[in-house]
Structure 1
Amino acid sequence: MVHRSKNSKPGRSWIGFLYACGAGLALSQPVAAQSAQWPLQDLSAFRQPGSSWQLASDVHARLGKPNVLETSNGAGILVNLPGKKQHGEDLFSNKEFGDIDLELDYMMAEGSNSGIYLQGRYELQLLDSWGTTSPRPGDNGGIYERWDDSKPEGQKGYQGYAPRQNASKAPGLWQHLKVSFQAPRFDASGKKTANARIIRAELNGVLIHENVELQGPTRGAIGGDEKATGPLRIQGDHGAVAFRNISVREFKTPAPVLSGLQYRVFNGQFKKERLDTAKPVATGSSPILTANAGPLSKEYVLHYTGKLNVREAGDYNMALASQGGGGFIRVNGRDITGSGRNREKIQLPAGETPIEVIYSRSGDWGTPTLGLVISGPGLRDSYIGDAITPDDTDPIMVNADQNTILRSFIDVPGQQQKIVHAVSVGSPLNVHYTYDMDRGMLVQVWRGAFLETTPMWHERGNGTARPQGAIQRLGLPFFTLGRLATQQDAWSADTTGSGYRPKGYVLDEKDRPTFRYQIHGSTVTDAIRVSEDGHGISRELNVSAPAADLYAKLAEGAQIEALGKDLYLVDGKAWYLQLQDAGGAKPFVRDAAGKKELIIPVKGRLSYSILF
């Protein structure tokens, strides 16, 4: 099903980004702040850690073994291993925090349960929610409910917020959480003047919360009260869980202020020399930076002068934010031409600095909008200027409430290329994949929403569709099948001499495709199916009369670990590969161009699963 959504506008240009800035933050832009990566070489960052908490150099979960994590001696990973004999305790940071960005990796044991309490009071749930299709507040990434024992049964929990979609990974895989938190505000008398907020939260690269107001502590908070600061708290009494790469950015600096703004308005298009020689059609002062000062509405130039006041000296990142025209910022005689996400760095002293802002309105297209974006030491992204008009392009979303197929281009991240004959297959189990018909390759799998096709169908379009869930990419484009004279030969990069011929696909009774192609004299059928439990996909290749030196490349990544018979962890515990039937062939892991590759001889039938 295809629809245009007005409820989940993604930022399609810098204007959407600035709209997020107006709310307080955009996590996609690096921000200078008082930042600390916790080294986890000891437990000194925490007060009185209980005996269930320890450090490790590596950690593994075992599928089929609930609440079990296996550790290796060392440091760098924080692990909680509560058990019947060792009751777990919550872990509290020594330091207390107000406004922060929190970023970390975590790993759940099968069936495990934990949580992150911001300021010890507001819980983001951590749970093994692998395969859940309709997440609730108590699922992985949810904002846990508040609680009132005086209410009737079934109504005690309230004001919980489910993640927008389930972006959870399997037990034993590293998951990545990014949270931007704004602490509650209090006046001089201690009266609360503003509630805490989750400005933004991302799980495994997927936006799961945005601008959620927290009207009070969630269930299990360290107290019913609220304060300006509090410790970071990790729940430790429910299940085995591991953490690494914990980073906290603190934001304590007040927003910068523009003051003493004087403007001049010139008729016509911008020419630099006119600011010195031409006579303005209007002059005046303005309490705010705006594109709408003065009497003109078409083809005019606004020249502002004023003072920019920042609390702390240091390196700041600045950019102009404009719509319906362009311009630049001039600070101490230096022109800053960056706009939107393209910031420019400038060193500012504490206190007031002279600033000029030039805006040139061209024609009558777009809503005239002017502002500047600035971040710096201890300062979250701040926007100063006109109210932002969000991009009014309705995103075109394709849902997969039944088995759904869409052909499109797919971008290859980090590469100046696209997969131009991509087939994306969606499932009502919220597990989807993309297949490259030019290479017989399974490109990517993902969990959550299916596709956004705005770049493909809006106006002229560029043919590209975008997965909307938690994506697991399976490597740069490569051919699944190839011939190797020896096991160390480089993998084929093109079809030269292979006789490769794509033959499209056929649908089964459930509208699921089986892909077909010819290569090296063999006819290949490639059937990919979503597992009924939503845990991943299975793939079965059938190759007619395979050559003796025909191989399949099953996986590539920075690391490939064997976990026992026929089970592998790929690319730093990002996904599992489970080999099911290889006709007696034995796989091997080899080094290739700085990566690891999992290669197997092809005997005719080859089947395996990808779990993620």
Structure 2
Amino acid sequence: MSINLNDLSSFQSPGKSWQIAGDVTVDLDKPNKLNVSEGTGILVNIPTKKNKGKDLFTDIEHGDVDLELDYMMAKGSNSGIYLQGRYELQLADNWGATGVSASSNGGVYERWDESRPKGQQGYQGYAPRQNAGRAPGLWQHLKISFQAPRFDASGNKTENAKLLRVELNGVAIHENIELFGPTRGATSNEEKAMGPLRLQGDHGAVAFRNIKVTHYNKPRPELKNISYIVYGGRYEQEPQYDSIPPEAEGTSGILTSNLNTTARRFLIRYTGTLVVKEAGEYTFNVETPGGSGLVRVNKQEVVPMRAWNGKGTVALPAGEVPFELLYAKYMDWAQPALALRVSGPALREFLISDKEVGLADVVDPIIVDAQERPILRSFIDLPGDQRVTHAISVGSPAELHYTYDMDHGTIVQLWRGGFLDATPMWHERGDGSSRALGSVQYFGKPALTVAKLASEQEAWTTDTTGSAYHPKSYKLNKKSEPTFSYEVNGAIVMDAINVIENGQGLRRELIVQNPSANLYVRLVEGNKIEEAGKGMYLIDDKSYYVRVEDTAGAKPVVRNVAGHQELIVPVREKLTYSILF
């Protein structure tokens, strides 16, 4: 369900610092300030000295829940989200910070005990794995999977609350965090199975939108009467069972790959009964690394025989239905491993098979650290099955990194957090690719940065044909930051890219020698480009900023082309702009 943000009726006694708006922006020079426009869809909190503000509670209460929303921080601001009003996940403007703590953006705030020794009152706080936050005034996306504490019939707590997973801007920052008790500032230290969502309102200016709550309060289906038959040999497809003798058979209390089979290649056929406690659509997700799996439920093939993993959905009635699962292990190098996960109506995905069978990658990841300013050449895969074959990824200790495409003289991605996972490139024979580890901003399909246009309305060239583009080299400055050089349309371009102080963004300086007529630089393309004053532009629904700093007298142009927008500048001898992220 989505929380209604047409007004404040979804909340209990909202204070005067809270309002509904249609748009919100930030001035990067003014701390703790949000500028709002009339309309609906955005929840805004602006506490002031006169009106200090108070926390906002939802009318609804929740137990197990997935919470998904966008939020925007004012400059220097901080706030928080309290699950069940008791367990706080910190929201903060940490733009330019590299270290992380429990009070950082996305941190699990500390518990507090005044009776503990001085300096140790705060405890059991959890820093995010990495700094995946973005600049003030940009929308940030948060996803929380929360498991409420469990209690017995007498009201005694039998299991602590947990953060099963927290993602910030597409990056996992917490997994399986046990919450031993309420954090500091909780409404009560008494834990319960249900409680309202609480948004901190007495600290700093913050905005929220697209608040979606998914409750998980239905009983899980169960397996019973499980029996198995094991067949030795390699089976990539379901065999004719009458024609092959079984190696072993018996009964089991659980689906598992650990049946102590003697064969290195084998097929296990499980049959049993699935007890469905709530009618509805159920999704089955089977993982079989080094082999294949098939799932039939209620005599319907839900997941066909498929290598490595498969997923399918089926409508099931309440009651007992027949169940069948095939697990074929046929890769000699792989260890036996099987996992089956099930989700359904108001039912979070859970593991119904053996919990002792680990499915972690058998390969230790090969992670490239950014502390020594690495520059790594590899393939880079972008959304939409685009592979950049001549990519150079540049790391920074400020935890802001980018990938440059030497085939087009352009930046294809920018990210904050960890640098690169080079496992796909360096493990065994590899495929030559590496992956960004942090929160990534992509810049669309690779295209020339500098191109010739017959007019300001001509479509931007999508490849280098006819441009005489020729990459030359790159040189490093004292900070190991590269300046790339290339030829295009008769001009020589020096493309210097530097990390702004504290990693707040990238500054790009283009020096163009012998520019010909009608040459343009495309700074950015996107679905929406908004002018924000002082040379600032907000891109794609406030995903990042572009700040134009020096055009050598040329005038930037925002143009509409083929359903999207582009920010272009006529080429002079010099152009400097920054990407703030």
TM-score with structure 2 length normalisation?
0.96
Q: Structure 2 CA distance, aligned partners of 1:227 and 1:500?
A: 65
Superposed, which structure 2 residues align to 1:319-468 within 5 Å? Answer: 319-335=285-301, 336-337=303-304, 342-362=310-330, 364-386=332-354, 387-389=356-358, 390-414=360-384, 416-468=385-437
Task: Give the equivalent residue in structure 2 for 1:302.
Answer: 268
Aligned residues with identical type, % of pairs: 56
CA 1:242–1:341 in 2, change beyond 3 Å: closer, same or farther? farther
Helix, strand or coil: the match of 2:479?
Answer: coil
**Alpha carbons of 1:338 and 1:537: their partners in 2 closer, same or farther (altered >3 Å)?**
farther
Q: Report what 1:9 is aligned to.
A: none
Q: Equivalent residue of 1:37, what SS? A: coil
- What residue number does 1:595 align with? 564
1:584 to 544, 553, 576: 553
Supply the AA of the counterpart residue of 2:412.
V
SS of the residue 1:533 aligns to: helix
Q: Report the counterpart of residue 69 of structure 2 in structure 1.
A: 104
Corresponding residue for residue 462 of structure 2: 493
Q: Relative to 1, partners in 2 of residues 1:188 and 1:429: Cα closer, same or farther, differing over 3 Å? A: same
Give the Cα–Cα distance (whole angstroms) in 1 for the partners of residues 381 and 533 of structure 2: 35
One of 567, 589, 609 as aligned partner of 2:536: 567
Question: TM-score w.r.t. structure 1 length?
Answer: 0.91
Work out whether residues 475 and 555 of structure 1, in 8 Å CA contact, stay in contact via their aligned partners in 2. no
Q: Which residue of 2 aligns with 1:4?
A: none
Partner of 1:250: 215
Gaps of 5+ in 2: none
Q: Please, which of 191, 205, 218 is the counterpart of residue 183 of structure 2?
A: 218
Contact 2:54–2:202 (Cα < 8 Å) also in 1: yes
Distance (Å, rounded) in 1 between the aligned partners of 2:222 and 2:544: 47
Secondary structure at the residue paired with 1:385? coil
Amino acid of the structure 2 residue aligned with 1:260 = N
Alpha-carbon distance in 1 for matches of 2:427, 2:170: 24
The aligned amino acid for 1:430 is E
Q: What does the per-residue CA deviation read over 1:149-194, in whole Å, with 9 as the maximum and x for residues that have no partner?
A: 1223211111111111111111100001111111111111111011
Query: 2:377·2:391 contact (CA, 8 Å) conserved in 1?
Result: yes
More moved, 503-512 vs 136-145: 503-512
Letter in 2 for 1:482: A
Deviation at 1:601, TM superposition (A): 0.7
Aligned to 2:197: 232
Greater CA drift, 228-237 or 337-346: 337-346
Kindly state the Cα deviation for residue 430 of structure 1 after the two structures are TM-superposed.
Answer: 1.1
The alpha carbon displacement at 1:246 in A equals: 0.7
Which whole-Å deviations, capped at 9, do the CAs of 1:253-274 have from their partners, x for residues lacking one? 2332110112233444557564
The CA deviation at 1:319 is 3.1
User: CA separation of 1:39/1:592 partners in 2, compared to 1, >3 Å: closer, same or farther?
Assistant: farther
Would the alpha carbon gap of residues 501 and 364 (structure 1) be closer, same or farther in structure 2, given more than 3 Å must change?
Answer: closer
Are 1:538 and 2:504 an aligned pair?
no
The secondary structure found in structure 2 opposite 1:503 is strand
Deviations 1:42-87, CA, capped at 9 Å, x for gaps:
2121111111111111110110111111111110011011111222
Letter in 1 for 2:334: G
Q: Paired residue for 1:525, among 494, 518, 530?
A: 494
1:176 aligns with 2:141: yes
AA of the residue aligned to 2:252: S
1:360 shift after superposition: 3.1
Q: Distance in 2 between matches of 1:490 and 1:385?
A: 54
Aligned-pair CA distance for 1:306 = 1.0
Higher relative contact order at CA 8 Å, sep ≥6: structure 1 or structure 2? Answer: 1
Q: What is the CA-CA distance between 1:510 and the residue it aligns to?
A: 2.4
**Structure 1: distance between partners of 2:420 and 2:339:** 33
Residue 260, structure 1, aligned to residue 225, structure 2:
yes
- Give the counterpart of 2:279 among 308, 313, 320: 313
Q: How has the CA–CA distance of structure 1 residues 138 and 292 changed in structure 2, closer, same or farther, with 3 Å as cutoff? A: closer
Which sits farther off after the overlay, 378-387 or 432-441?
378-387
For the residue of structure 2 that corresponds to 1:163, the secondary structure is coil
1:164 aligns with 2:132: no
Q: Which amino acid aligns with 2:225?
A: G
Kindly indicate whether the alpha-carbon contact (under 8 Å) linking 1:265 and 1:294 is maintained by their aligned counterparts in 2. no
Which amino acid in the other structure matches residue 457 of structure 1?
W
**1:138 matches 2:103:** yes
Q: Does 1:85 align with 2:53?
A: no
Contact 2:100/2:130 (8 A) holds in 1: yes
Distance 1:364 1:494 in 2: 44
Q: Residue 300 of structure 1: CA displacement?
A: 3.7
C-alpha deviation, 1:323, in angstroms = 4.1
Change (3 A) 1:330 1:138: same
Q: Secondary structure at the match of 1:369?
A: coil
Task: Report the Cα distance in structure 1 between the residues aligned to 2:209 and 2:450, rounded to whole angstroms.
Answer: 37
Give the superposed CA RMSD. Answer: 1.7
Give per-residue Cα distances to partners, 1:513-536, cap 9 Å, x unaligned: 110011111111010000122211
Equivalent AA in structure 2 for residue 366 of structure 1: A
What amino acid sits opposite 2:465 in the alignment?
Answer: T
- Between the aligned partners of 1:424 and 1:324, the Cα distance in structure 2 is 32
Amino acid at match of 2:345: P
Contact residue 79 and residue 241 of structure 1 kept, 8 A: yes
Cα deviation, residue 356, structure 1: 1.6
Amino acid aligned to 1:140: N
Q: Report how far residue 363 of structure 1 moved.
A: 6.8
Deviation at 1:545, TM superposition (A): 2.3
Matches within 5 A, 1:112-151: 112-151=77-116
Q: Displacement of 1:559 after TM fit?
A: 0.8
Distance in 2 of aligned mates of 1:483 and 1:337? 52
Q: Against the structure 1 CA distance between its residues 433 and 294, is the aligned structure 2 distance closer, same or farther, given a 3 Å change threshold?
A: closer
